[in-house]
Structures are given as C-alpha cells and as structure tokens.
A and B are shown apart, each in its own frame.
Chain A
Amino acid sequence: MSLLLPLRYLSGILKVYYSIVCLWNDTLRLITSRDYKMSQRMEVDGKTALKRLQNYLNNYYFRKIVYSIVTLFGISILIFIIARVLPGDPARLALGPRAPEDVVEQYRKLLRLDQPIYVQYYYWLIDVFHGRFGLSLVTFRDVLTDITEFLPATVELIIFTLIIDIIGAFSLGVLSGRKPNSIIDNSVRIFAYAGIAIPSFVWAIILQLVLANWLDLLPAYGRLSLGIEVKRITGLVTIDSLLSGNLIAFGDAVAHLIIPSLSLAIGCIAQEARILRANLIENVNKDYVLNMYAHGIPGSTIFFKYALKPSMIPTVTIMTLDMASMLGNAFLVELIFNWPGLSRYGITAMLRKDLNAIVGVVLVIGLAYTIASIIIDLVVSYLDPRVRHRR
C-alpha cells in the first residue's frame, strides 16, 4: 500500500500535467491553422487587433517562451515528486536527526506534508502566483527575498564570464582558422584539449592557487576586499561603484571577478574556438568563398566578411550548451570563491535540504537559462536568414 500510494500520486500529477500540455497544444493549433490563411487575406485589409494578437501567439519566440514556462512548472512538479516520493521524511531530513518530534511535526504542517502531494503542489503554485516561494530554512525569510538579494552577484559573474568567453573564443578561433597548422593554431589546439578536459572547478582551484596564492596578482576570495564598501543600487558591484563614482572599488570588484570568470569561461572558450576554427577552415574552401576570390576581392575582406559570418552560426548555436554548463559550474565556482551569489545560496540550501529554496533557485536558474537560449536563438536568426524565414 505504502509503495502504491506515491505511484498513484505520480500518475495523477502526470495526468493533470499532460492534459494541460494537450489543451495548450490544441489551442495553439486551432489558432495557428486559422491564423495562417486569415493573416494572408487580412494583409490587404490592414492589421486588425485580432490579427495582431494571433500573430503574437503564432510567433516562434512567444511560443517558445510560453512552452518554456510550462516546462518550468514541469520541473517544479518533478522536484516535488522526487522529494516526496523517495524514501525518507523531508521534514526530518531538513531539521536533522536531533530535532524534537513536535518541531518536526510543526514543520511538516508548515510544508503541508501531511496532505496529499497534489494538494501540496496546488498550494505551492498558488503561493508562487502570489510571489511567494515559501519560507527558507537557512535564512528564515521568503525564498524570493533571498533570491533577489543573491541574484545580482551571480548575474555579474555570468555577464563578466560571457564577455571573456566571447572575446576569447572569437579571437582564438579566428587566429587559428586564419592560418591552419601554424604555431598559433597548434597551440590553440592544445589549449582547446586542455580547456575541454579540465573541469571548471579544477580550473578554479588551479587559477586560485597560481594567480592568487603563488603569484599574488589577484584576490583569491569574495567580491570586494575588506574595508571597501559600495552602496547597493543595482546589486552589481561594478556598476554600483561606477554609479557612485568610486573607481577604487570598481577596480577592486573587477580584480575579484577575473579568476572566477576565467575559470568558468575557459572550457567554453575552448569549445567555441575549436568549432569556429573547424568551420572557418571548411568555409574557406566553399564555392561561395572561391567565387569572391575569382572576382579579385581582397583576402582579408573575404575572410572577415564572407567566411566569418557563416562560420559564426554554428559557433553561436553551441553557446546554448555552453551557457548551460556555465550556469551549472557557477554553483561550484561560487562555492570555491565564496562568491555571495544565488548559486552558493542554492548549494547551501541543497546541503541543508531546504526544499523551498531548492525549488526557487532551480526555477530561477531554469528561467535564466531559457532567457539565455532565446537570446542566442535571436542572434542565430539574425546571422542566418534561412532560420529567420523558417520561423
């Protein structure tokens, strides 16, 4: 009986979830099938409000966003199920073996663990729509409050990483693709193998050891040195320090960012540089490049215009996956560098089995990943007209 119960919950939730997805799909299909014919006819009449609405609904990105939101709720269900279905009492796990029974019982009530799982989920969902992710066990505050506090540090780290990643990947890829099998190309290739084989938490340890401890070039931990303080405006220390005109703090913040960002970026740089190089070498021999040579157009124009743009498409496409590994590795890197960001908050929550916080963090990271992949999609469709027209 006790074994069958969770299975019944599981199937119940799956059924609800599946019917939502089906309903959504049917609605979309209904709208889009009528829409296509209608929009063509309406082109003559001019845009009506209805058509504009349908166009929005039919838009690739709109559909993608809505689908991702549905999927994100799927994730929350998933984590709910895993947490409740697996053996062990979440309340007991969270409070530890030494907590008195009545406290555990109280916490169980608080999490509504005494009610069926779909009831729990229902209440959680209602809470989320009211902007509450539940109480965190670590900070005893609402998870959303915590998230808004810790998110900026992670955003800053990821943005800085992306800047390093893009500059590094494109310069290395172009350098080695320009002159294949040269010394530069071979050293880039060795670097690429190292970059891919060495996980970023190992890079973090190595860079910290070498750059911070042995050479003493950069600070090893944290976001700012002791004694330097910046008034919180946006939460991004670099921007806040610039806004308040504190250049010393700005320099300090950037110095603190370098090693963590570098250790997050190296793997991505290696991967992207390798793909860019391979594509450049392939495209340089394509007929459409030779055609430009046949018309006597200077080699550098051909390389940086006609060969580089098509080669960038697969490189940018792969950045979705790199973004995923970046967001994942941020958990470890923030832990190593004691970076007061969302990921470190998430790790603390995970180690403490703080369920509400885990779900909140995972949802925010999922949302960030979705937004990032939509942006990358937009860039790809900007670069590739074929993709733009297919959508």
Chain B
Amino acid sequence: MLLEINDLHVYYKSYWYTLKVLNGVWLRLDRGERIGVIGESGSGKTTLLKSILKILPQNGMIPRGEIRYDGKDILKLSGNELSKIRRKEIGMIFQDPMAALNPVFKIKDQLYDILKYKMMIEGHNPSSKELYEEASKIFSDVRLPDPDRVLESYPFQLSGGMRQRVMIAMALISAEKLLLADEPTTNLDVTIQDQILKLIHRLVMQKNLSTILVSHALGMVYQMTDRVYVLYAGDIMEEARTRELFSHPKHPYTQLLVASTPRLSSVGVGEGIKGKLPDYRNPPAGCRFAPRCPYVMDKCINTKPGKIQVNREHVVSCYLYD
C-alpha cells in the first residue's frame, strides 16, 4: 500500500462562513497502481490532490482525517520529511499550466529551483551546467524541442501544449514514486489533448509510477486507469475496477454520470444531471447527492451511508445496496 486516505475532511474558512468541501474521503493506492478520480467540476477533486501534498491555500484546513503515505501520516510529518517527499517522491501536474507557472519568471528560474532543491536533498549542490543538462534531459523525455528557447521563455510566450509539457516535466522531477495529475488535458486544444494524454501514459508506463488521475473526461480515465473512485460534493460515492464501473455502475450518481456522457471521449460531465452541486456552506446532513437523486429515500436525507461492499472490488456508498 503506497497511499491510504481515511476519513479526510477539508474546510475552507473565510471571514463569514466555512466551506465544508471534503467530507470524509477515503482512498487507497497500491504501488504501481493507477487510479482515477472522477466527478463533475467543483466536487473537490483538486482539493483532494492538494491535501495529499499538504499545499492547500492558506484558508484551507484539515480538521480530521489521515493521509498515510508509505506508512507515515503526511499530516503529522515534520517539515524536513515533508519536503523530502515533496521534492523527490510525489509530483503533481496542475490543472491549468498557465496559472501554475509563475508569469513573471522565466521557465529556467522555476525549473532550476525545483531541480536544485531536489538535488540538494540528495546531498549534491549542482552547478548551472548540471542543471542545464538535467533540464534538457527531462525536456527530451516530455518531447519538448529546442530546450534553450523554452528555458529562456516566459510562460506566456509558449503555446498551451508546450506549457503543459513544461508542467509535466516539473512534476516528473519530483514524481519518483507517485504522480498526481489534475485534469491534465482540460485546458488544451482537442488535438493536443490526445498528444499530452499519450505522453503521460507513456511516461507513467515507462517509469512504473503510481498515479492518481483526476478528471472529468471519462474517456481518458477509462484508458489510463485500473480502478476508479467517484467523487461527488466531497464524498466518495463509489469505488470499482474501471471496466466494472463503466459497464455496471451501481450508485445512482455514477449511473447518471456515465449515461449523461454520450461518448467516452466527451468532456463536459455532470451537466446532464438535474440540479446543482450543494452549497458547501451548509451541505446536506446525509448523502450529499440526496437532493438530486432520483431514488432518494427518507434515511438518505438524515444520515450518510457508509461503505457498502457490493462485491470483492466494488464499494458503493448508497442505501440502495444496503
């Protein structure tokens, strides 16, 4: 077991209210396994990934829960151990590379800093020549031509695809064990989406990385993952092997989600389902999907359903299968 998340709660506090975003998320990931997390926009997928690295925004807090990575609880780690994991073991591809690359620094500045601190934890203080060589090596891994030009560029001077490749290169530096990919293709042109997808797939296979792929593009998840978690409004609704989940969805939300996606490659998910995500300031007390659920029962409204084992590798959180 590489990663195990139990009962994770994440709140965002602002001056006037608290957004209760994650509501007891659980998840496990074996070594070398690739899992997907699907759900519509705003259901807390990015928050989940950010809390694994403990990089929530300043108003984010984790009142309860544990994130066991390699046997250690990330939330209780000391600064040194945490930065070792961040520098060497877990890498994250952010959703929007334009937003995740600092607009006023050259790619060089950001990439070299990342490389330098990673090498420093290996007890080695690299020279700028070494940094350059290392960077070109990683760029050729992600198929970025002309490393000199890219290194000297600012993010806004690169095309969307190139930015995403830079982003992946950065994530790969740190991801020696686990890669977190947050909707890596949403902000790209359709033609480039496919290239990036293939690139990530190839790299993951090549380096045998454990991966958590977060997406609302079901087609991508279907192609790339072994197991899938369905996240809705901060709750895990269903967990199953990928094929099983797409062919026999159990939870009403998953059923609607899969049905509302005409083709597997389609992007917009969840729009076909009536209603909106709940208000995180004051979320439903029971199942968070209850207000939109076509099969809603009385007990759904008041109490949250637990994990219900449907078969050996299929867990669903719904009273219909109680």
Contacts and interface: CB of A to CB of B under 8 A. Distances in A.
**Direct A–B touching, Cβ under 8 Å:** yes
A309 B113 contact: no
Contact of A310 (B50, B53, B104, B117): B104
A313 B161 CA distance: 28
B86 interface: yes
B75 interface: no
Given A288-B99, A295-B174, A301 B57 contact: no
The interface residues of chain B, by DSSP majority, are classed as helix
Nearest to B54: A293
B154 A386 contact: yes
B113 A286 contact: no
A99 interface: no
A286 B104 contact: no
Most chain B CB within 10 A, of A293, A305, A384, is at A293
B58 interface: yes
Interface string A293-307: 111111001000110
A293 B86 contact: yes
Contacts of B58: 180, 281, 284-285
Contact of B113 (A180, A301, A310, A389): A301
Contact of B83 (A284, A289, A298, A313): A298
B104 A383 contact: yes
Interface in B130-155: 154
A284 B53 CA distance: 16
A290 interface: yes
A218 to B, nearest CB: 40
A287 interface: yes
A386 B103 contact: yes
Contacts of B95: 287
A163 interface: no
A305 B114 CA distance: 13
A293 B103 CA distance: 16
A180 B174 CA distance: 30
A286 B86 contact: no
B170 A291 contact: yes
Contacts of B59: 285
Nearest to A283: B102
Nearest to B88: A296
B195 interface: no
A313 B101 CA distance: 17
B82 A296 contact: yes
A46 interface: no
B50 A290 contact: yes
Interface residues of B, number: 38
A185 to B, nearest CB: 13
A310 B87 contact: no
B84 interface: yes
Contacts of A288: 99-103
Which residue among B55, B58, B121, B170 has the maximum number of chain A CB atoms within 10 Å of its CB? B55
B105 interface: yes
Contacts of B121: 296
A340 to B, nearest CB: 43
B100 A291 contact: yes
A243 interface: no
A34 to B, nearest CB: 27
Nearest to B182: A287
B101 A293 contact: no
A288 B57 CA distance: 11
Contacts of A289: 102
Given A287-B99, A291-B170, A310-B104, A389 B157 contact: yes
A224 B283 CA distance: 70
Given A285-B57, A290-B50, A310-B103, A385 B83 contact: no
A297 B174 CA distance: 11
Nearest to A313: B104
B209 interface: no
A28 interface: no
Contacts of A287: 94-96, 99-100
B9 interface: no
A293 B92 CA distance: 11
B250 interface: no
B53 A293 contact: yes
A354 B157 CA distance: 55
Contact of B102 (A180, A285, A294, A306): A306
5 contacts: A287-B94, A292-B110, A295-B173, A305-B105, A384-B104
Given A290-B94, A301-B113, A309-B104, 13 more contacts: A281-B58, A285-B58, A287-B96, A292-B113, A294-B55, A295-B113, A296-B84, A297-B117, A298-B117, A306-B105, A309-B102, A310-B104, A385-B103
Closest 7 CB pairs of A and B: A296-B86, A296-B87, A296-B83, A285-B57, A288-B102, A287-B100, A287-B99
